[in-house]
Amino acid sequence: MGTDELVGIVESIGPELQCGVISDAYLNERALYMWQPTKPLRLADLTSGTALIHGVTNELSSMFPYAVPQQWAAAFTTIAEGVFYRSRFDTRIPARAVAHFGPSGLSPRAKGRQQLVTANIRMRLTDEFGIQIAGPPSLSQLRVASNPSVGN
């Protein structure tokens, strides 16, 4: 989860972002779910300078496959309900995310708290990240091959 809506959407679209352009149709299929904990969460702060002495680095939020982060999560469950960490795709200094431990999949807490990717969020993606949001190209923007049956 992102600590604000922009961190959340960038975490969602980051793997799909190619050359700074994202499809308008792709954003239309995305939704943000807002969750307000009913009580303060006990989180392991992986953004703290002292995390390093415990063997934690920022690499933990960007590793793939997720076997090592999942092992860390299992170890953290004895002392915390989640982790507070640096976002994988949001490189701004204050960008932070929260991983709340629990079953995988869409949480029932999210039902009814859905927000579409609004015009304001789209504008911020462009203004703050330089991400261009593109619709399908017009015919005049495409180069039409004179003989499409001939191979490249």
Domain count, the chain: 1
Domain membership flag for residue 148 = no
Domain membership flag for residue 146 = no
Domain membership flag for residue 82 = yes
Spatial CB neighbours of 134, under 8 Å, sequence gap ≥ 6: 21, 22, 23, 24
How do beta strands 96-100 and 82-86 pair?
antiparallel
Give the domain extent around 71. 5-141
Q: Which two tokens stand for residue 141?
A: 């923007």
Domain membership flag for residue 78 = yes
Domain membership flag for residue 12 = yes
Q: Which pLDDT value is given to residue 107?
A: 62
Domain membership flag for residue 151 = no
Average pLDDT over residues 20-32: 89
Q: Which pLDDT value is given to residue 124?
A: 93
| Residue in 20, 18, 8 with CA at minimum distance from that of residue 121 | 8
| Residue in 32, 7, 6 with CA at minimum distance from that of residue 84 | 7
Domain membership flag for residue 28 = yes
Taking CB atoms within 8 Å and a gap of at least 24, the contacts of 47-50 are: 47/84, 47/85, 47/86, 47/96
Whether pLDDT at 81 is above 80: yes
Whether pLDDT at 103 is above 70: no
Q: pTM (2 decimals)?
A: 0.71
Domain membership flag for residue 152 = no
